[in-house]
Structure 1
Amino acid sequence: MAEGIAFDLVKGVLGKLGSALGDEIGLLRSFKHDADDLRSNFSAIQAVLLDAEERSSSAGKESHALRDWLRKLKDAAYDADGLLDEIRTQAALRQQQHPEVQNQNQPAEKVREFLSHANPMRLKFKVKMAHRMKELREKIGKIAKQRHDFGLAEAGPGRQAEFKHRETFSAVDEKEIVGRDDDKEKIVKLLLETGGDHDVSVIPIVGLGGLGKTTLAQMAFNDGRVTGQQRFDLRVWVCVSTDFHMKTIARSVKSATKEECDLDSLESVASFLLRIFSQKRFLLVLDDVWNEDKGKWKELKVVFKDGRQGSKILVTTRSEKVAAIMKTVEPHRVKGLSDDDCWTLFKRLAFDEGEENDYPSLVAIGKQIVKKCGGVPLAANALGSMMYSKNRTEDAWSAIRDNEIWSLQEEKTILPSLKLSYIQMPSALKQCFAYCSIFPKDYEIDKDDLIRQWIALGFISSHETWTSMEDIGNEYFNDLLWMSFLQEVEEDKEYRKVTTCRMHDLVHDLAQSVAREEVAVIVGEESTRIPESCRYVSIYSRFTPQVSITVMRRLRALQFRESGSLIMAFYSEAKCLRLLDLHGSEISMLPSSIGKLKLLRYLNLSSTNVQELPESITSLCNLQSLNLSGCRKIRTLPKFLGKLTNLQNLDLSDCRSLTIPDSISNLQNLYALNLSWCKRVISLESICHLKNLHYLNLSDLKFMETLPKSIESLQNLRILNLSNCISLLSLPSSLCDLKNLHDLNLSRLKSLVILPESIGSLQNLRILNVSKCHSLLSLPSSSSDLQHLEKLDISGCKKLCELPKMIRKLTKLRVLLNNKCSELKGMPRGISKLVSLQELSVFVVGKQDRVEHCASISELEHLKLVGELEIKGLENVTSPVDAKAANLIEKNLRSLKLEWNVLSAEEGMDSTVLPVEEMETVLENLQPHIKLENLEIGGYGGGKFPSWMMNRIGSCLPNLVGIRVENMPGCSSLPPLGQLPFLKALTIRNMPAVTNLGVDKFPALMRLNLSSMPVLREWVTVLTVDDEEGRRERVPIFPCLTHLYLEECPQLRPEPCLPPSVKSLDFYRTSKENLSLILERAMPFGGGDAAVSPQPPPDKGLRSLGIRGCEQLTCLPESLRSLTSLQRLEIWSCQDLERIEDWLGELTELQCLFINGCSSLRYLPAHKMTTLKILHIVGCPLLFDADGQFVDTSVDHIKYVYVDGRKYPYEEQASSSSEEEES
Structure 2
Amino acid sequence: MAVETFVFNIAGKLLGELVSPAFQEACLVWGVESDLRRLEKTLSNVEAVLLDAEEQQFHNQELTVWLGQLKEVFYDAQDVLDEFECEALRRQVVEMQGSTTRKVRRFFSSSNPLIFRTKMAHKVKEIRARLDEVAADRSKFHLSERSDDRHVMRGREMSYSFVQPSDVIGRDQDKENIVKHLMDPSDGQSISVVPVVGIGGLGKTAVIEHFELKCWVCVSDEFVLKQLLVKIIKSITSENRSDFDEEQLQVLLRNNLDGKKFLIVLDDVWNEDRGKWIELRNLLMGGANGSKILVTTRSPTIASMMGTVSPYNLEGLLHHECLSLFIKWAFDEGKERQHTNLVEIGDAIVKKCKGVPLAVKSLGSLLYSKLDERDWLFVRDNEMWKLNRKEGDILSVLQLSYNQMPSYLKQCFSFLSLFPKDYEFNTLELIPYWLANGLLQSPNENQEPEDIGNQYVDELYSRCFLEDYIDIGYMREFKIHDLAHDLALSSAQSECLIINCQIQNISKKVWHLSYTDNTWQNENVLKCLQKSKSLRTILSVEKGVGPSTKSFVDSCLSKFSYLRVLDLRDSSFEVLPSSIGTMKHLRLLDLSNNCRIQKLPNSICKLQNLQTLDLGGCEKLEELPKDIRYLIRLRFLMVTTKQKSLPGCPNSLRFLGLSNCGNLESLVEMMQFCTSLRFLCIDNCGGLISFLPTLKFLTMLEVLAVENCEKLDLTRMEDDQDDFPTSLRALSFIGLPQLVAIPNWIKRSAKSLQGLIIKNCPNLTALPEWFVNLETLRGLKIENCPKLSSLSKEKLCLPALRYFRITECPELIRRCQPEIGEDWHKIAHASYIYLDDKRIKKADN
C-alpha separation between the residues in 2 aligned to 1:360 and 1:306? 59
**Is residue 457–residue 578 contact of structure 1 (8 Å, CA) maintained in 2?**
yes
1:792-814 superposed Cα distances (whole Å, 9 cap, x missing partner):
45554444566544445744444
Residue number in structure 2 paired with 1:715: 699
Distance 1:869 1:596, change over 3 A: closer
- Counterpart pick for 1:85 among 70, 78, 82: 82
**1:651-697: CA deviation from partner (whole Å, max 9, x where unpaired):** 22xx3x5327632x232111011113322222211232111111111
Which of these residues, 438, 446, 460, is aligned with residue 458 of structure 1?
438
Q: Deviations over 1:825-881 (max 9, x none)?
A: 998xxxxxxxxxxxx5688867xxxxxxxx8x8x67x9435555889xxxxxxxxxx
Partner AA of 1:142 in structure 2:
E
Q: Answer yes or no: is 1:700 the counterpart of 2:684.
A: yes
Confirm or deny: 8 A CA contact 1:819 1:842 kept in the other structure. no
Identity, % of aligned pairs? 35
Counterpart pick for 1:691 among 651, 667, 675? 675
Q: Kindly indicate whether the alpha-carbon contact (under 8 Å) linking 1:753 and 1:777 is maintained by their aligned counterparts in 2.
A: yes
SS at match of 1:698: strand
Larger Rg: 1
Q: How far off its partner does 1:194 sit?
A: 1.9
Distance 1:605 1:466, change over 3 A: farther
Which of 353, 356, 374 is equivalent to 1:373? 353
1: CA distance, partners of 2:375 / 2:182: 47
Counterpart AA for 2:708: N
- Look up the match of 2:498: 521
Change over 3 Å in CA distance of 1:298–1:621 after alignment to 2: same
The 1:2/1:535 distance shift into structure 2, 3 A limit, reads: farther
Change (3 A) 1:784 1:170: closer
After superposition, residues 270-289 of structure 1 pair within 5 angstroms as 270-289=250-269
Q: What's the offset of the Cα at 1:575? A: 1.8
The answer on 1:121 being equivalent to 2:112 is: yes
Distance 1:80 1:645 in 2: 24
**Aligned residue in 2 for 1:26:** 28
Superposed, which structure 2 residues align to 1:185-264 within 5 Å?
185-216=176-207, 218-219=208-209, 222-223=210-211, 227=212, 235-241=214-220, 242-258=222-238, 263-264=243-244
Summarize the Cα distance change of 1:463–1:623 in structure 2 as closer, same or farther, 3 Å threshold: farther
In structure 2, list runs of 5 or more residues that go unmatched: none
Amino acid in the other structure paired with 2:601: P
Is 1:480 matched up with 2:457? no
| AA at the equivalent of 1:197 | G
Judged with a 3 Å threshold, the aligned counterparts in structure 2 of structure 1 residues 488 and 22 are, in CA distance, closer, same or farther, namely same
- The answer on 1:70 being equivalent to 2:61 is no
Please tell me whether the aligned partners of residues 529 and 546 of structure 1 are also in contact (alpha carbons under 8 angstroms).
no
Distance 1:815 1:373 in 2: 36
1:556 corresponds to: 536
In structure 2, what is the equivalent of residue 500 of structure 1? Answer: 478
**SS where residue 678 of structure 1 aligns?**
coil
Which residue does 1:967 correspond to in 2? none
Shift of 1:85: 0.8
- Say if 1:557 and 1:577, in contact at 8 Å, map to a contact too: yes
1:223-282 deviations in Å (ceiling 9; x for gaps):
3xxx3xxxxxx7111112214314423443344335685742222211111111111000
Tell me whether 1:182 sits opposite 2:180 in the alignment.
Answer: no
Partner residue in 1 for 2:373: 394
Q: 2:494–2:509: 8 Å Cα contact kept in structure 1?
A: yes
After TM superposition, the structure 1 stretch with the greater mean CA deviation from structure 2, 588-597 or 806-815, is: 806-815
2:190, 2:288 within 8 Å by CA — same for their partners in 1?
yes
**How many angstroms does 1:79 deviate by?**
1.6
Pairwise CA distance, 1:552: 3.8
2:302 to 283, 307, 322: 322
Secondary structure of the corresponding residue to residue 559 of structure 1? strand
Aligned to 1:627: 614
CA distance in 2, matches of 1:572, 1:929: 66
Amino acid at match of 2:602: E
1:786 offset after TM fit, Å?
3.5
Q: TM-score w.r.t. structure 2 length?
A: 0.88
The reply on whether 1:167 has 2:157 as its aligned counterpart is: yes
Partner-residue secondary structure (3-state), 2:137: helix
d(CA) in 1 for partners of 2:414, 2:833? 42
Distance (whole Å) between structure 2 residues aligned to residue 552 and residue 101 of structure 1: 41
Counterpart residue type for residue 81 of structure 2: L
**Counterpart position of 2:711:** 727
- Encode CA deviations 1:1145-1200: one digit per residue, 9 max, x unaligned: xxxxxxxxxxxxxxxxxxxxxxxxxxxxxxxxxxxxxxxxxxxxxxxxxxxxxxxx
Partner of 2:122: 131
Q: Secondary structure at the match of 1:517?
A: coil
User: How many residues get paired?
Assistant: 817
CA change 1:865–1:27 in 2 (3 A) is closer
Q: 1:593 aligns with which of 574, 579, 595?
A: 579
CA contact (8 A) 2:684 2:708 kept: yes
Q: Read off the aligned partner of 2:145 and give its amino acid letter.
A: E
What is aligned with 1:752?
Answer: 739
Name the counterpart of 1:645.
632
Residues 57-103 of structure 1: CA deviation (Å, up to 9, x unaligned): 4x2xxx32322222222222212211111111012113323436799
Question: 132, 137, 157: which is aligned to 1:146?
Answer: 137
What do you get for the CA RMSD once the two structures are aligned?
3.5
C-alpha distance in structure 2 between counterparts of 1:866 and 1:371, whole Å: 35
Q: Secondary structure at the match of 1:313?
A: strand
Q: Work out the CA distance in 2 between the residues paired with 1:410 and 1:795.
A: 51
Alpha-carbon distance between aligned partners in 2 of 1:21 and 1:894, rounded to the nearest angstrom: 57
Return closer, same or farther for 1:392/1:519 CA change in 2, 3 Å cut-off.
Answer: same
Q: Does 1:310 align with 2:310?
A: no
| Residues 661 and 685 in structure 2, CA contact (< 8 A), matched pair in contact too | yes
Shift of 1:449: 1.6
SS at match of 1:553: coil
- For 1:721-1120, what aligned pairs fall within 5 Å after superposition? 721-729=705-713, 730-733=715-718, 734=720, 737-757=724-744, 759-763=746-750, 764-793=752-781, 796-800=784-788, 803-807=791-795, 810-815=798-803, 863-864=828-829, 895=840, 929=843
- Matched residue SS, 1:69: helix
The answer on 1:40 being equivalent to 2:41 is yes
Aligned with 2:216: secondary structure?
Answer: strand
From the superposition, tell whether residues 517 and 282 of structure 1 become closer, same or farther in structure 2 (CA, over 3 Å).
Answer: same
Separation (CA, whole Å) in 1 of partners of 2:280 and 2:820:
53
CA distance in structure 1 between the partners assigned to 2:592 and 2:775 by the alignment: 39
Contact 1:350 1:388 in 2 (8 A): yes
Q: For 2:780 and 2:553, locate their aligned partners in 1 and report how far apart those are by CA, in whole Å.
A: 52
2:684 maps to amino acid: D
**Residues 216 and 266 in structure 2, CA contact (< 8 A), matched pair in contact too:** yes
Q: Deviations over 1:442-474 (max 9, x none)?
A: 433343322221111111038867962111111
| Residue deviations 1:467-500 (CA, integer Å, cap 9, x gap) | 62111111111111221222244x48x8796423
Which structure 1 residue ranges, 5 or more long, are not aligned?
104-113, 228-233, 828-839, 847-854, 872-892, 897-927, 932-1223
Measured in 1, the distance between the counterparts of 2:356 and 2:798 equals: 46
Inter-partner Cα distance in structure 2 for 1:793 and 1:263: 35
1:25 aligned counterpart, secondary structure: helix
1:592-611 equivalences in 2 (<5 Å): 592-611=578-597
Deviation at 1:328, TM superposition (A): 1.2
Name the CA shift for 1:894/1:167 in 2 (closer, same or farther; >3 Å).
closer
SS at structure 2 position matched to 1:40: helix
Structure 2 distance, partners of 1:93, 1:930, is 63
Deviation at 1:550, TM superposition (A): 5.8
Change (3 A) 1:33 1:140: same
Deviates more, 1:161-170 or 1:357-366: 161-170
Secondary structure in 2 aligned to 1:213? coil
Counterpart pick for 1:468 among 442, 448, 452: 448
Using CA pairs under 8 Å that are at least 6 residues apart, name the structure with larger relative contact order, 1 or 2: 2
2:803 and 2:171 map into 1 onto residues whose CA distance is 33
Q: Give 3-state SS (helix, strand or coil) of 2:487's partner.
A: helix
Say if 1:757 and 1:781, in contact at 8 Å, map to a contact too. Answer: no
Tell me which residue corresponds to 1:511: 488
Mark the CA change 1:591 to 1:125 in structure 2 (over 3 Å): closer, same or farther: same
Distance 1:209 1:623, change over 3 A: same
* 1:408 aligned residue (387, 392, 396): 387
Q: Return the offset for 1:134.
A: 0.9
Report the residue type matching 1:53 in the other structure. E
